[in-house]
Structure 1
Amino acid sequence: MASDRPAPEAPLVYGGHRPDEGPWEEWNPSAETLRPHRGRHRVGRQRGGGLARSSTVLGVGVIAAVGAGGMASAHTGKPPVSISLPDLPSVGSLLHDAPAATPKGSADALSSVGVTSADTADGASDAGEALRNRIMAQADAQQVQLDGTSQATVEAAVAQQADDAAAKAEQAAAKKAAGAKQAAEAAAKKKAEAAHLAELAKQYQLPVVSYTLTGTFGQAGTMWASGYHTGLDFAAPTGTLIKAIHSGTVTEAGWAGSYGYRTIITLDDGTELWFCHQSSISVSVGQKVGTGDVIGRVGATGNVTGPHLHLEVHLNGSSTASDPMTWLRGKGLNP
């Protein structure tokens, strides 16, 4: 480092005395008298360098305060740190060779300004590293929180899927059980009905053993006064035996116009069975008959085209005929 510039000689004072001869007058330094060399940052030494040393310490303290405050603000984002400045020497010390006072400011390095004890515990030695550690710690905390949220979301989704699967399985099982129950009930009902029909079949029988069905209920045609066929025709040779379908009472037996010779048997429930176009009648009105009893013979009397038994069924004695096929099947018979 270059040596300090020599202090200028003190100017002459009025009275003709030289500086080394006295008397002395007090000299106050100014910016003009203390102007440094170009490119220099140190002032000229005056009388032993007391002012130079004090000014140098002051300049360094100011630079340190500004630098530390800026670094703390830039790196930590915290309020500026209070910096202690050294006490200025008294005016008297500027004029004498008194030793410069020791600065009372902080002895910490500028790079450690804004570093907390927690940062030091984490291994941070300066403000920049402390700021980096804080940012990384915050990022890690956010990542941990995000991972926890993601894990909770995944677990919730898995639980929901399990619940949905369990609900679907339960619904499927319930539906299957209901279907099985319905099927079992239907099978039981069908079996019971079959048993009932079988029992009825023992009580009912077809009127003709050997026959051919030549006309069914509801057929349209001009041959019938109503415009349609009202019964079921069992074609068989003349003289074929006609038997009672079920037990009942003979309520009519004789000629009936277009029906020829007709026998009516009334059952206990009020149903009337009409046996028409007979060649002969074997029972009389008021007679009780049982299932399978002979009541007459097949013929071709009345409005016919050939020998056959015309059977009609009138439920509850109604004047309107019902389908004999349906009624017979309901009794366990299958014409």
Structure 2
Amino acid sequence: MKRRKFIQNAALTGLGLTVGTALTACADDGKSKEKAVATTTNSDAKPIIPMVIATWNVPNATKKAWDVLQEGKSSLDAVEQGVMVEEADVNNQSVGKGGLPDRDGNVTLDACIMNKEGDYGAVVCIENIKHPISVARKVMEDTPHVLLAGNGAKQFAIKSGFKPENLLTEASKKAWEKWKVEAKYKPIINVENHDTIGMLAIDKNGDISGACTTSGLSYKMQGRVGDSAIIGSGLFIDNEIGGATATGMGEEVLKTVGSFLIVELMRQGKSPQEACEEAVKRVIKKSPNYKDFQVGYIAVNKKGETGAYCIHEWFNYTIYQNDENKNHKSNYYNKTK
């Protein structure tokens, strides 16, 4: 199943925003539990590293990150180069070039990156720059700031050597023009290709980094920023503990600071799987209308143990570990049909 329909249903209920093309969900009482595909290992076991985990079925991205790790490079290099694969894929209408535009037809991108020291860099509402993740890294490494927005972020990127280009592809333009006919903003959880790309990696030294990149909610209000580029919400790394990243309805992730919550729960002794489940339950507790949107999390701890959980069915994620690049279906909360 593909991923922007996961988001299409994740529209702002208050605004009635339709979110691109999102993921089909079942209804559920939340009582039945499956064993998650991502399992944890004995706490005394040797760390299973290096490794890469990313939201959605993105084998090319995880392979690129894995190859970077195999070259002996850092986890920071791995996550940057890994998500760049999706940013450059014009067939992926949720990140980078070809991303679905806002309601005015502008492709605006958000991205952030975190390294093993906990340093953070981000850009929001940046236009005409294909690789916002690399601009985010430049913000982190070359400026005294952590987040640049809009035209300021674009001008910084150009001064840093990035070439501006039109990111609205013909396919995304046609989709936007079709949407404009009725311009409905109604949450409908269905299925499509991708949404936010969040990636976590551990290198041979055991150091963790993370990256998150997106074109955001499709047909959003101009200037809207979701969780993806916001530290603690869309992404959080603590090299002593682990990392987490989110996908889905950004407004709901922001309100619960989900990725930070997961890392703190792991600090308290929970497994990555237990922490992801608790973070999703926190969203559900805070949002009575949770059946109208999707949120999903992935996490990893220092041993390379992973977890994933979401509200509705069909969220999936990719792990490259032990020389195997494999996609997994996430366990989910809403199981009533």
Check whether TM > 0.5: no
Q: Normalising by structure 2, report the TM-score.
A: 0.19
Q: Normalising by structure 1, report the TM-score.
A: 0.19
User: Which has a greater percent of helix?
Assistant: 1
Larger Rg: 1
User: Which has a greater percent of strand?
Assistant: 2
